[in-house]
């Protein structure tokens, strides 16, 4: 095993603990220097960034749970320093693949033979590598092109120890006394599901049955070449968002694919079932025949019904601009604390959260909304970078993934500059929530014009 890929609990624990101690010591020293006024001119931003780079360097070598945590840190939930989260965005892309010999041995152990015996052809160079596994192209002996996802060694076995040590590290970054256990419990449950490739194969089948049709293309799970640590699925041809945009597509083409994305997520809401919860550009393909390809089903969530309904109710409540109803929902979702010792801080955060919610509700005010609007993009950017709560986690732990879904969708549509028709999505939400969206937006527009 390469020394740059520690897989035993002892090795991994040692690296995480060493990183945590080093970062913790750095923050302690920084605190003392600030007390004495001796920071040598170094800004807080630069300090957070350097510490994040230290964590990222070690977590990249560890991969697995550790790197998933780094990815989580890149999703700005408002309780990590902005500069720290910015560095961690690299965890979405900058992961070196494991060596070819290790790939062969994993396939032999999991599928019973070496890849050259199992497949008509197998590309030893991975074409994609992420936190939990990497993906290779292959051709089955029946001629089907497939993608083979191979899980890194011992990822699942180290979840508990990695999370336990990472919790120690994160506690040094968040407000003293903040309860981070529910968030870590949610991450653990999701990681256990993501590291079970049989579960992912079943999710592929489920989504293929639900959405596989004229406009949504979902791969076929090839169960006979899959285990809980190797996943085989048919290969989809297409290009990712970056490649698509480099082609400088016509506005009509941008709108077409943007509408497919928008409708895909609202149709999932309509089913009130599992939701694809990793809205990252790397998980979608724009096919050459005009379909939306969905290719990763590791992070699929079924949210508790009460939470999910309350989350959906935020939309019409913000469109109605009903301050009392908004406040009650925020209290129920643990976004604000009615019994806080610092009511002025709660009021400040309430105003921020309400305005943030209004921004997310904005597209539903229009029959067709332009996600390419520069002013709107700047407003979203402001809210995702300037939460006033500092390093204190807020809201239900389920927000970790609803935020990933919602913000991820908006970010992709803004990069595409897509014009989205919201009529069908409002009909779906109207049926679920028993609310007439047209009446809400008309009344809100009337009040704003007065």
Q: Considering only CA atoms, which of 87, 83, 76, 70 is closest in space to residue 356?
A: 76
The per-residue pLDDT for range 304-347, each reduced to its tens digit, is 999 999 999 999 999 999 999 999 999 999 999 888 888 888 88
pLDDT tens-digit profile of 368-388? 999 999 999 888 877 766 655
Query: What is the C-alpha to C-alpha distance for residues 197 and 203, in angstroms, rounded to an integer?
Result: 10
pLDDT of residue 34: 47
What pLDDT was estimated at residue 212?
Answer: 82
Higher pLDDT, 167 or 426: 426
Taking residues 12-22, report their average pLDDT: 57
Is the separation of the CB atoms in 186 and 104 below 8 Å? no
What is the pLDDT, as a whole number, of residue 153? 84
pLDDT at 18 over 70: no
Query: What's the mean per-residue pLDDT of the chain?
Result: 82
Name which residue leads in pLDDT, 359 or 404. Answer: 359
**SS3 sequence, the chain?**
CCCCCCCCHHHHHHHHHHHHHHHHHHHHHHHHHHHHCCCCCCCHHHHHHHHHHHHHHHHHHHCHHHHHHHHHHHCCCCCCCHHHHHHHHHHHCCCCCCCHHHHHHHHHHHHCCCHHHHCCEECCCCCEECCCEEEEEEECCCCCEEEEEEECCCCHHHHHHHHHHHHHHHHCCCCCCCCCHHHHHHHHHHHHHHCCHHHHHHHHHHHHHHHCCCCEECCCECHHHCCCCEEEEECCCCECHHHHHHCCCCHHHHHHHHHHHHHHHHHHHHHCCCEECCCCHHHEEECCCCCEEECCCCCEECCCHHHHHHHHHHHHHHHCCCHHHHHHHHHHCCCCCCCCCCHHHHHHHHHHHHHHHHHHHHHHHCCEEECCCHHHHHHHHHHHHCCCCCCCCCCCCCHHHHHHHHHHHHHHHHHHCCEEECHHHHHHHHHHHCCCHHHHHHHHHHHHHC
Q: Which of the pair, 430 or 57, is modelled with greater confidence? A: 430
Choice between 215 and 93, residue whose per-residue pLDDT is larger? 215
Domains and CATH numbers, the chain: 9-94+158-171 (no CATH), 96-129+132-155+195-235 (3.30.200.20), 237-450 (no CATH)
Torsion angle, CA of 239/240/242/245, rounded to 10 degrees?
50
Residue 82: per-residue pLDDT: 53
The answer to whether 17 and 165 are in contact (CB under 8 A) is yes
Tell me the pLDDT tens digit for each residue of 46-78.
665 666 666 666 666 666 666 665 555 444 444
> Using one digit for the tens of pLDDT, what is the confidence trace for 195-234?
999 999 999 999 999 998 779 999 999 999 999 999 999 9
3-state secondary structure 254-285: HHHHHHHHHHHHHHHHHHCCCEECCCCHHHEE
Q: Which two tokens mark 283?
A: 């998980």
For residue 395, what are the contacts with CB-CB under 8 A and spacing of at least 6? Answer: 333, 334, 335
């Amino acid at each position: 095993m390469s020394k740059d890929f520690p897989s035993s609990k002892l090795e991994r624990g040692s690296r995480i603990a060493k990183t945590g101690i080093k970062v913790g010591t750095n923050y302690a020293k920084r605190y003392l220097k600030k007390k004495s006024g001796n920071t040598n001119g170094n800004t807080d931003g630069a300090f957070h960034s350097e510490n994040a780079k230290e964590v990222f360097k070690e977590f990249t070598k560890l991969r697995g749970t550790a790197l998933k945590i780094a990815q989580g840190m890149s999703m700005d939930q408002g309780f990590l320093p902005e500069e720290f989260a910015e560095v961690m965005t690299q965890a979405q892309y900058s992961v070196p693949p494991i060596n070819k010999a290790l790939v062969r041995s994993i396939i032999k152990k999991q599928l019973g033979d070496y890849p050259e015996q199992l497949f008509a052809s197998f590309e030893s160079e991975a074409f994609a590598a992420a936190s939990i596994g990497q993906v290779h192209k292959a051709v089955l002996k029946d001629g089907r092109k497939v993608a083979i996802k191979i899980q890194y060694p011992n990822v699942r076995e180290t979840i508990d120890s990695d999370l336990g040590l990472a919790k120690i590290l994160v506690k040094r970054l968040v407000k003293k006394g903040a309860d981070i256990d529910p968030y870590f419990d949610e991450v653990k449950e999701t990681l256990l599901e993501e590291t079970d490739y049989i579960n992912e194969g079943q999710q592929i089948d489920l989504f293929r049955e639900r959405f596989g049709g004229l406009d949504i293309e979902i791969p076929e799970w090839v169960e006979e070449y899959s285990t809980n640590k190797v996943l085989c699925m048919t290969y989809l041809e297409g290009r990712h968002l970056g490649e698509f945009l480099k082609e400088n597509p016509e506005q009509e083409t941008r709108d077409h694919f943007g509408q497919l994305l928008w409708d895909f997520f609202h149709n999932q809401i309509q089913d009130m079932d599992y939701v694809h919860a990793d809205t990252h550009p790397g998980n979608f393909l724009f096919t050459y025949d005009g379909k939306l390809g969905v290719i990763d089903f590791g992070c699929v969530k079924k949210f508790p019904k009460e939470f999910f309904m309350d989350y959906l109710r935020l939309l019409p409540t913000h469109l109605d601009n009903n301050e009392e109803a908004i406040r009650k929902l925020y209290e129920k979702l643990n976004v604000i604390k009615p019994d806080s010792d610092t009511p002025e801080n709660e009021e400040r955060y309430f105003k921020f959260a309400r305005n943030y919610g209004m921004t997310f509700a904005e597209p539903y005010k229009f029959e067709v909304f332009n996600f390419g609007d520069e002013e709107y993009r700047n407003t979203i950017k402001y809210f995702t970078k300037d939460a006033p709560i500092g390093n204190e986690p807020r809201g239900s732990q389920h927000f970790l993934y609803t935020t990933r879904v919602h913000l991820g969708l908006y970010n992709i549509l803004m990069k595409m500059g897509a014009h989205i028709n919201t009529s069908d999505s409002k009909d779906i939400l109207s049926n679920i929530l028993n609310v007439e969206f047209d009446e809400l937006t008309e009344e809100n527009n009337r009040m704003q014009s007065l």
